[in-house]
Structure 1
């Protein structure tokens, strides 16, 4: 059975160590910021270090060095536990925890122009995220073929691009509906 005492964030960080390199906690946080933020929560620096301690104590990662220069590498046991977690635990259904949706729900408390400004600001933020994710996706070109280590991250980037594109269309439609008084 997969370890029940590890949160999903531990498995996410463990997974980020499977691309063949050793990373410091800071580098792992940078990788999380460049990847996880598009589809999961990128953990705080303090959480990265607390999860690395937990993973080290469980024998799932091996630290090398001391202090700020300590690097971490996934162990064979870590790979087995991560693969077992992938195979044996259900992915679950995502919960939409969306701050724009929450504010739209409460839009009756403010002027229509305030609601429109919020939706338009979200459209601008979506454009920025799309641009950033396009850069990530482009960086995977050439290493994204079947059997390559970055094949699946490329698929996730493609999914993210489609998802953000769809959200952009949904929000643009909401702007039109609010403008029309629907």
Structure 2
């Protein structure tokens, strides 16, 4: 008896659900195919797992009875393993999409984290860092726009097209926000510089001050 038989709602990691969802188009796909599809779509808003994680998750899905696999012999000694979703897998993916709670997105923005601790560096360094982020956002915007455009060629990708359009707009906004922050660096530096002490460090507010600001903020709601 498979592990899936013991529960109607298997507990899977997000990457496993993503792989299962991609297999619901009812095509046999290799791990390589799935990675290419992720790079074409999901990476814009959900990351891109390593091949090792993809194959590990596929093995787990097969162990749970949610997918099956077969080895297809190729020319010479080459062969490839193809994965196909099962009826149980389709049912599980459908239940997940319709019933599982949607967790809030987790933002881990390294550029913003550096700006938060900008007192440890200088405006020139921060400006360079933010410009690199602008370049990154611009690159992602161009790629998402291209993939959104070509996702329209297949009617079965209509919903995936919506997600790619969202990614295109997201990275356009990300670029504009970074450009705006670059312009605002001079103002932040002026405020910080005005508060500097002899040791060139702005005084950190006392804990009582934190609580007072918190009280005023709560009263402002």
Q: What TM-score do you get using the length of structure 1 for normalisation?
A: 0.90
Question: Hey, what's the Cα distance between the residues in 2 that align with 1:169 and 1:150?
Answer: 29
Task: Select 1:34's aligned residue among 40, 45, 49.
Answer: 40
Shift of 1:181: 4.0
In structure 1, runs of 5+ residues without a counterpart are: none
User: Is contact 1:2–1:89 with CA below 8 Å preserved after alignment?
Assistant: no
Alignment partner of 1:173 is 2:180: yes
Q: How does 1:12-161 map to 2 (within 5 A)?
A: 12-65=18-71, 69-143=80-154, 148-161=155-168
Q: Which residue of 1 aligns with 2:3?
A: none
- Deviation at 1:68? 5.3
The higher radius of gyration belongs to 2
**Aligned residues, how many?**
177
Question: Matched residue of 2:68: which SS?
Answer: strand
More relative contact order, 1 or 2 (CA 8 Å, 6+ apart)? 1
Structure 2 residue matching 1:69: 3-state secondary structure:
strand
RMSD: 1.6
Larger deviation: 31-40 or 63-72?
A: 63-72
Q: Using the TM superposition, give the Cα deviation of residue 73 of structure 1 relative to its aligned residue in structure 2, in angstroms.
A: 1.1
Change (3 A) 1:68 1:15: farther
The alpha-carbon distance between structure 1 residues 29 and 68, as it changes in their structure 2 partners (threshold 3 A), is farther
* Length-normalised TM-score, structure 2: 0.75
Contact 1:56 1:63 (8 Å CA) reproduced: yes
Question: 1:179 deviation in Å?
Answer: 3.6
2:204 — aligned with what? Answer: none
Ranges in structure 2 where 5+ consecutive residues have no aligned partner:
1-7, 73-77, 190-221
